[in-house]
Chain A
Amino acid sequence: MTDYEIHELMTCRVAAEVDNDGVTVMGSFTPLAYASYMLAKLTHAKDAYLVGFDAVGMAPVQLSFTGAEASAYKGAVCRWGMLTEINSIHLANHGGVEAVSSAQFDGSGAINLSAIGPFEAPKVRLPGGAGAAEVIKMYRKMIAYFGNHNPRTLVDKVQFVTGTRWKVGDRAREEAGLQPGPIVVVTNLAVLVKDEDDRPFRIESVHPGVDVQTVVDNTGFELEVPAEVPTTAEPTPQQLDLLRNRIDPFGTVKFDFVSGKERLSYLRGILDAEWDRAAARVS
Chain B
Amino acid sequence: MSSSRTNGKVVPLESLGELVRDGESVAFGGGWFANHPMAAVRQLIRAGRTGIHAITVVGSVDMDLMAAAGTLGHLSFSMVTLEAFGLAPNVRRGIESGSLPFTEYTGLGLLIGLEAQGRGMPYLPYRGPFGSDIPARYPEIYATTNCPFTGEQLTAVRALQPDVAIVHALRADAEGNAQWDGTSGPDVEMAKAAKRVIVTCEEVVDRRVIVENAHMTKLPGYYVDAVIEAPFGAHPTSHVPRYAMDAWELMDYAAAAGDPEAIAEYVARIRNETEEGYRERVLKGRDKVLGALVDAAEVIEGAQA
Contact A128 B293 (CB under 8 A): no
Contact B248 A59 (CB under 8 A): no
Contact A133 B107 (CB under 8 A): yes
Contact A130 B107 (CB under 8 A): yes
Contact A277 B296 (CB under 8 A): yes
Contact B132 A164 (CB under 8 A): yes
* List of B residues within 8 angstroms of A267 by Cβ: 84, 251
Cα A254 to Cα B53 in complex, Å, equals: 38
Q: Is A126 an interface residue (CB 8 A)?
A: yes
Closest CB in chain A relative to B234 CB, distance in Å: 12
CB closest residue in chain A, given B300: A60
With a 10 A CB-CB cut-off, give which of B34, B245, B297 has the most chain A CB atoms: B297
Looking at chain B, what size class is its interface with the partner chain?
35 or more
Contact B111 A137 (CB under 8 A): no
Closest CB in chain A relative to B278 CB, distance in Å: 20
Cα A7 to Cα B99 in complex, Å, equals: 39
Given contacts A66-B293, A128-B77, contact A41 B303 (CB under 8 A): yes
> Nearest 3 pairs between A and B by C-beta?
A67-B297, A131-B107, A127-B81
Contact A73 B182 (CB under 8 A): yes
Selected interface stretch from B44-52, B121-129, B260-268: B121-129
**Residues of chain A in range 100-121 having any CB-CB distance to chain B below 8 Å:** 110, 113-114, 119-121
CB closest residue in chain A, given B94: A125
- 19 A-B pairs (CB sep. < 8 Å): A27-B58, A29-B84, A53-B183, A67-B244, A70-B294, A81-B184, A82-B111, A82-B189, A91-B126, A113-B79, A125-B95, A128-B77, A128-B78, A128-B104, A130-B57, A134-B107, A134-B108, A177-B127, A277-B296
Q: Is A54 an interface residue (CB 8 A)?
A: yes
Q: How many residues of A contact B (CB 8 A)?
A: 74
Given contacts A61-B297, A67-B244, A82-B189, contact A129 B78 (CB under 8 A): yes
Contact A59 B296 (CB under 8 A): no
Closest CB in chain B relative to A280 CB, distance in Å: 8
CB closest residue in chain B, given A274: B293
Given contacts A53-B182, A124-B96, A246-B300, contact A28 B111 (CB under 8 A): no
Measuring CB to CB, which residues of chain B are less than 8 angstroms from any residue of chain A?
A: 31-34, 57-58, 77-81, 83-84, 87-88, 91-92, 95-96, 98, 104, 106-109, 111-112, 114-115, 126-134, 137, 152, 180-189, 218, 238, 240-241, 244-245, 247-248, 251, 288-289, 292-300, 303-305
Contact B108 A137 (CB under 8 A): no
Contact A163 B106 (CB under 8 A): yes
Contact A91 B293 (CB under 8 A): no
Given contacts A60-B300, A133-B107, A162-B134, contact A66 B79 (CB under 8 A): no
Contact B133 A74 (CB under 8 A): no
Q: Is A275 an interface residue (CB 8 A)?
A: yes
* List of A residues within 8 angstroms of B180 by Cβ: 79
Partner among A38, A54, A67 whose Cβ is within 8 Å of the Cβ of B185: A54
Partner among B96, B108, B288 whose Cβ is within 8 Å of the Cβ of A282: B288
**Residues of chain A in range 234-272 having any CB-CB distance to chain B below 8 Å:** 246-247, 255, 264, 267-268, 271
Contact A91 B108 (CB under 8 A): yes
* List of A residues within 8 angstroms of B111 by Cβ: 82-83, 86
Q: Is A64 an interface residue (CB 8 A)?
A: yes
Contact A130 B295 (CB under 8 A): no
Q: Tally inter-chain residue pairs, CB-CB below 8 A.
A: 233
Given contacts A66-B245, A81-B188, A121-B98, contact A59 B299 (CB under 8 A): yes
Closest CB in chain A relative to B292 CB, distance in Å: 4
Contact A81 B247 (CB under 8 A): no
Contact A74 B131 (CB under 8 A): no
* List of A residues within 8 angstroms of B109 by Cβ: 133-134
Closest CB in chain A relative to B64 CB, distance in Å: 11
With a 10 A CB-CB cut-off, give which of A69, A113, A122, A267 has the most chain B CB atoms: A69
Cα A147 to Cα B77 in complex, Å, equals: 27
* List of A residues within 8 angstroms of B78 by Cβ: 128-131
Q: Is A1 an interface residue (CB 8 A)?
A: no
Closest CB in chain B relative to A31 CB, distance in Å: 9
Contact A42 B107 (CB under 8 A): no
* List of B residues within 8 angstroms of A160 by Cβ: 133
Cα A190 to Cα B96 in complex, Å, equals: 34
Cα A90 to Cα B127 in complex, Å, equals: 10
Contact B299 A127 (CB under 8 A): no
Q: Is A138 an interface residue (CB 8 A)?
A: yes
Closest CB in chain B relative to A161 CB, distance in Å: 4
* List of B residues within 8 angstroms of A127 by Cβ: 79-81, 87-88
Contact B298 A275 (CB under 8 A): no
Partner among B83, B296, B300 whose Cβ is within 8 Å of the Cβ of A28: B83
With a 10 A CB-CB cut-off, give which of A130, A177, A274 has the most chain B CB atoms: A130
* List of A residues within 8 angstroms of B241 by Cβ: 70, 73
Closest CB in chain A relative to B93 CB, distance in Å: 8
Cα A246 to Cα B292 in complex, Å, equals: 20
Closest CB in chain B relative to A240 CB, distance in Å: 16
* Seed contacts A29-B84, A125-B91; 15 additional CB < 8 Å A-B pairs: A29-B83, A61-B300, A66-B293, A69-B240, A70-B240, A75-B304, A79-B180, A79-B184, A81-B184, A81-B218, A86-B107, A91-B127, A121-B98, A134-B128, A275-B293
**Residues of chain A in range 76-98 having any CB-CB distance to chain B below 8 Å:** 79, 81-83, 86, 90-91
Contact B131 A61 (CB under 8 A): no
